[in-house]
Structure 1
Amino acid sequence: MIKIRGLGKSFTGQDGSTVAALRDVDLDVGAHEFLTVLGPSGCGKTTLLKAVAGLVPWDDGDILVDGAPVRGPGPDRSVVFQDFALLPWATVLDNVAFGLRMRGVGRAEREERARSLIATVGLTGFESKLPGELSGGMQQRVGIARALAVRPRVLLMDEPFGAVDEQTRRLLQEELLSIWEEHRPTVVFVTHSMEEAVLLGDRVVLMSARPGRIADIVPVGLPRPRAGDVGALGKSGEYAEITAYLWDRLRAMHAEHRPAGAAS
């Protein structure tokens, strides 16, 4: 489904120096897979996601989706960001239908599809509300519905639950799993949470400190469907074993990049 080969990306810093964000990234993502991406802060997780989305150029390598090279954004990919990125002047209904309108879908069809997804994410009755009238969790539900409205084959999610409280986060995790189990898009989900990476993913991709490379790929054998109660999964021995392993790897990465003489 997604094939990444030899991906490299550098930025120019404010002082004119070159900062390598990604180097020699090779990764395959299977059709309908839920892949989570984890790594130290600044390791290039978001840059990798934006490259797959076609939102940023890269210096080296190739990204293919279903065998076609990524040259920019496309209708086969939708992105959900942490900051919701909703149109503040548009209603929930119009926000969810926005991508469909941009694709020339007629009003009746786009509103029917939008209303169906609004119901799916539990916001029936809020169609005429503006984003400013909603909680953070509700706004993120709108963002997820908007991303799904265009029926993407690939759903790219950049720490989408990072700005909500822990209770809302758990509910959104269960809701996302339920939606994924029904529609089965290919998902690439960036997170800073080991627990979230394991609870959601079929595999966890662990990236190294900058410049980001694939340091490890850890399969997650937790049974599916998982939407019913992710909290129960968090009590399993396999969950504890995988999160402990990921923490050991991340802690080792931090130690390797700690400045000489820094306190542990």
Structure 2
Amino acid sequence: MIEVRGLGKSYIGQDGGVVQALQDVDLRVADNEFLTVLGPSGCGKTTLLKAIAGLIPWNEGDIFIDGSPVRGPGPERSMVFQNFALLPWATVLDNVAFGLQMRGVGKTERIERARALIETVGLAGFETKRPGELSGGMQQRVGIARALAVQPSVLLMDEPFGAVDEQTRRLLQEELLSIWEEHRLTVVFITHSMEEAVLLGDRVVLMSARPGRISEIVPVPLPRPRSSDVGALERSGKYVEITAYLWDRLRDMHEEHRPAKAGR
């Protein structure tokens, strides 16, 4: 379980002033839950994810993974970034096996595990290719395989499909659902897309505009598994209802923070 208690994060902005990115964030993520996080641009979604990953410090509050306080990155957590973050000089096989190598896993085992995951994400036959020879969607598949290779219990995903085209995005969503259904990891998934948040998540965390707080947590009572017939799920009344509700909430947030028009 992930527990975030009273989390606050501030930093110095470009103008020298203090920017409050997160304030009083309380959140619990259950084991094996797929949690999606949605909110206006700049509301601190990525900051929250990086704090859970142990990649940045914070000013107030605590974060716990299975009862242990987060003091930095840990072996139970893996992160997938929007910009792929692959080693450009390394092959697909070496990229996927990189984390295992850093953890001292023997060559035979890490190659075997990497090959199995490359097949899982649909890249069998591309083991010797380098990132520059792959499409954006293929590169993100490598990133997902690399994150899974170290067998984490928590997978943190920062808009992982934001840099690919819509067709590729939909294919990757279905593949991710299939992988989650097989491995049942605890996933925290940041997105700007209401449709993606509902399609993937057990619950959707709706964050307010800066300073980022949790405005609401919306349950997604859609049946699982979902990977087998995404189209039917997206046409369901409940899916449409939840997506529309999230848009109404986000639109209200934008209206609340829109500068008032000057009087005539």
Q: Same fold (TM over 0.5)?
A: yes
Work out the CA distance in 1 between the residues paired with 2:102 and 2:22. 32
TM-score by length of 1: 0.98
Q: Deviations over 1:164-201 (max 9, x none)?
A: 01110000000000000000110000000000000000
- 8 Å contact kept, 1:42–1:209: yes
Report the secondary structure of 1:83's partner residue.
Answer: coil
Work out the CA distance in 2 between the residues paired with 1:159 and 1:256. 25
Q: Residue 174 in 1 paired to residue 179 in 2?
A: no
- 8 Å contact kept, 1:170–1:230: no
Q: How far 1:122 moved relative to its partner?
A: 0.4
Report the secondary structure of 1:98's partner residue.
Answer: helix
Q: How far 1:203 moved relative to its partner?
A: 0.2
Q: How far 1:228 moved relative to its partner?
A: 1.4
Code of the residue aligned with 2:35 in structure 1: it is L
Q: Residue 47 in 1 paired to residue 68 in 2?
A: no
Unaligned runs of 5+ in 2: none
Q: Residue 248 in 1 paired to residue 227 in 2?
A: no
Residue 96 of structure 2 corresponds to which residue in structure 1?
96
Work out the CA distance in 2 between the residues paired with 1:15 and 1:199. 39
Work out the CA distance in 1 between the residues paired with 2:139 and 2:229. 22
Code of the residue aligned with 2:136 in structure 1: it is G
Work out the CA distance in 2 between the residues paired with 1:185 and 1:19. 33
Q: Residue 108 in 1 paired to residue 115 in 2?
A: no
Code of the residue aligned with 1:15 in structure 2: it is D
For residues 174-213 of structure 1, the aligned pairs below 5 Å read 174-213=174-213
Q: How far 1:229 moved relative to its partner?
A: 2.8
For residues 80-159 of structure 1, the aligned pairs below 5 Å read 80-159=80-159
Residue 236 of structure 1 corresponds to which residue in structure 2?
236
Code of the residue aligned with 1:22 in structure 2: it is L
Code of the residue aligned with 2:217 in structure 1: it is I
Work out the CA distance in 2 between the residues paired with 1:100 and 1:14. 38
Q: Deviations over 1:108-143 (max 9, x none)?
A: 000000000000000000000000000000000000
Work out the CA distance in 2 between the residues paired with 1:103 and 1:231. 40
Work out the CA distance in 2 between the residues paired with 1:229 and 1:56. 38
Work out the CA distance in 1 between the residues paired with 2:209 and 2:83. 24
- 8 Å contact kept, 1:2–1:30: yes
Work out the CA distance in 2 between the residues paired with 1:231 and 1:35. 21
Q: Deviations over 1:48-102 (max 9, x none)?
A: 0000000000000000000000000011000000000000000000000000000
Unaligned runs of 5+ in 1: none
Detail structure 1 runs of 4+ shifted over 4 Å in the superposition.
none
Code of the residue aligned with 2:152 in structure 1: it is P
Residue 12 of structure 2 corresponds to which residue in structure 1?
12
Report the secondary structure of 1:117's partner residue.
Answer: helix
Code of the residue aligned with 1:175 in structure 2: it is E
Q: In percent, how many aligned pairs have the same letter? A: 82
Work out the CA distance in 2 between the residues paired with 1:81 and 1:14. 24
Code of the residue aligned with 2:199 in structure 1: it is L
Residue 258 of structure 2 corresponds to which residue in structure 1?
258
Code of the residue aligned with 1:28 in structure 2: it is R
- 8 Å contact kept, 1:174–1:229: no
- Structural RMSD (CA): 0.7
Work out the CA distance in 2 between the residues paired with 1:229 and 1:251. 30
TM-score by length of 2: 0.98
